[in-house]
Amino acid sequence: MKSAYIITLLLIQVAYIFGQATNIPYITEPVQTSKWAFGKSQTCMWKPNGQSGPKTLELFFLNGAAPNTFQGAPIYTTSVPDIAAGKAVVDLSGIDTSKYPPSSSTYYIRIGESYSSQFTITGGTGSAVSAGPTTGAATGPATGATGATGPNTGSSFGTGGSSNVVPVSGTGVGSTPISKVTVTKTLTSTIKANSTSDAKATLTYSVFAIIATIMVVFM
């Protein structure tokens, strides 16, 4: 009987850990149908999902690359003092629009471990972007147009960024890449992952609770 109680406590702890792992903020604006414009201030919104503390908000441009092989620097970075606020202003008035096409639907936001869906930003004055090579061995820095400079932190790309992953070749903005695996698992499935985070946490708790109950009853 004593062992049953010990196992029950362990299962509850594991359930808590799994719940915390899926309990990340998810972005509600921008979404796929959102249209932002350079030269203006926009509002990014998210559900904190119980999280708090400072985070870094970054805006990325895919620059013609496939999401699962993307490399590039954030074109805009700002600090969010407390993720619990649920929103932040994204000031696009200082962006060098000559580096971006008149309209593209391949921008996305990253806040910590949360990613938005790809959305549209208009107002660029540069040439339209065509896709370049995005496959090959992990040989070194990516090449391509350079994004707007500025401070940035975390697993990002470009001057000032940092990453602990090996570069993959491809078309991007900058020289220090995000993990291909990370982008594959998060960016391309962000909407599904974010919209179901609460459900996964609830399901995890429920499964472990049922198992714990059965063990207490029958042991």
Question: 100-135: per-residue pLDDT in tens?
Answer: 999 999 999 999 989 999 999 999 999 876 544 333
Model confidence at 169: pLDDT above 60: no
In percent, the amount of the chain with pLDDT more than 70 equals 48
Instruction: Tell me what the mean pLDDT of segment 70-83 comes to.
Output: 93
Looking at residue 217, what is its pLDDT? 52
| Mean pLDDT of the residues in the chain | 68
| pTM of the full structure | 0.55
Looking at residue 100, what is its pLDDT? 96
Among the listed residues 111, 90, 107, the one whose alpha carbon sits nearest the alpha carbon of residue 31? 107
**How far is residue 187 from each of residues 11, 55, 207, measured CA to CA in Å?**
31, 18, 28
Looking at residue 39, what is its pLDDT? 96
Model confidence at 62: pLDDT above 70: yes
Phi, psi of 73 (to 5 degrees): -90, 150
Instruction: Tell me what the mean pLDDT of segment 25-45 comes to.
Output: 96
Model confidence at 96: pLDDT above 80: yes
**Residue 104 is encoded by which pair of tokens?**
């593209």
- Which residues are CB-contacts of 12 (< 8 A; sequence separation ≥ 6)? 208, 209, 212
Q: Are strands 35-37 and 172-173 parallel, antiparallel or unpaired?
A: unpaired
What SS3 class is residue 42?
strand
Q: 75 or 216: which carries more pLDDT confidence?
A: 75
* Cα radius of gyration rounded to whole Å, the chain: 20
Looking at residue 216, what is its pLDDT? 52
What is the separation of C-alpha 140 from the centre of its chain, rounded to a whole number of angstroms? 23
What SS3 class is residue 54?
coil
CA atoms within 13 A on the CB side of 91: 5
Structural domain boundaries in the chain: 25-200
Q: Which range, of 6-15, 66-75, 98-107, 148-157, averages the lowest pLDDT?
A: 148-157
Instruction: Tell me what the mean pLDDT of segment 52-56 comes to.
Output: 95
Model confidence at 29: pLDDT above 80: yes
